Structure 1
Amino acid sequence: MAETTTRKEILIQSATKLFGTHGYPKTTTAMIAGDAKVSEALIFKHFQSKEGLLKAVLKSGFTTVILGNKGMLDERNPSALIQKVLELPIQLVNRQPEFWRMQARMSNNVAAQEAQKNFMQPIHKILVSAFAELGYTEPVHETNLLLMVVDSLWKNMVRAEPLDSKGMIKFLQKKYKLQSPQ
């Protein structure tokens, strides 16, 4: 039996695309409804408000990310964990380009900031442990540096800026003495 996309899912997809293109403040519920080819009232029926729709978009996007990276947090080899974190920007942007374009555009939005912070929190903790296990003298600073770079890399990728993100990832793999993926 073929899986069908619900109108609720179509609204989430349209909102993700339009928030990423126009920004949250400039995207109206009428624009979203028009793109989704549904009535504007359906947005309010399913999500109560534009903010409710945004929260659903964020929940849907980060749920997809978590499911797509299941097991990463269980990685026991510290070098393999750092490798996976370094590869995260490419995986995230390749799997969900519109969601990450939206996230980059909404970097000043409190709800988007909170959702990303919640997503990154467990990664921070296990990276600190990984750097400590590898003998780094300042594992918290190493973790913060790596996560700042990872954050910059995915934003650079969705904005198509001139920085060579893949080259930077290879540089960091050398810095941390990691295997380059085949």
Structure 2
Amino acid sequence: MPAYHSQFNENTEYRIIGNMALLPIKTKFRGPAPSAPSDTDDIIDEALDLFRANCLFRNFEIKGNADRVLIYLILFISDGLNRLVKNPSQKEAMKNLNTKALDNFALPGEPGFPLNALYSAPSNRSDADLLRQYLTQLRQELANRLVERVYVDGKPSKWWMCFQKRKFMNKSL
């Protein structure tokens, strides 16, 4: 059975940095991402919807630049679920994941980035700064939406937490 890929792969009008697409998102956080219409799914909704199916795969064939964004978001979801292991309250979980979203992280091409074989480095310093801002914006929005999805009745859903030990492609951020 093949893994699920991003629906944004077919659209080539998005700006590319390295080989990651700057996709539109629905967000309240400031950043370089274009604004997405509120009535359609964005890449974050897609990552949350496809996480539980895709995290079971050890291999993932990349079919476009949007798939690289999807891989990054799935890995961030996995790390986020690992931070919720001790079952903090919803407010503490939001604070914890927002801290994780704003932490310093490695970009493609830097030594600490786990998927350097699949991603190319930004071509110059301004592209690297733009990519860092975009990924920070994605991480912040994803942290908020993940807490909203995982917490049901004030407690983490067991149907989400059962995937916390799974490692997508045997990698973590």
Normalization by structure 2: what TM-score?
0.28
* Larger Rg, first or second structure (1 or 2): 1
Between 1 and 2, higher relative CO (CA 8 Å, sep ≥ 6) is seen in 2
**Comparing both structures, which one devotes a greater share of its residues to strand?**
2
**Comparing both structures, which one devotes a greater share of its residues to helix?**
1
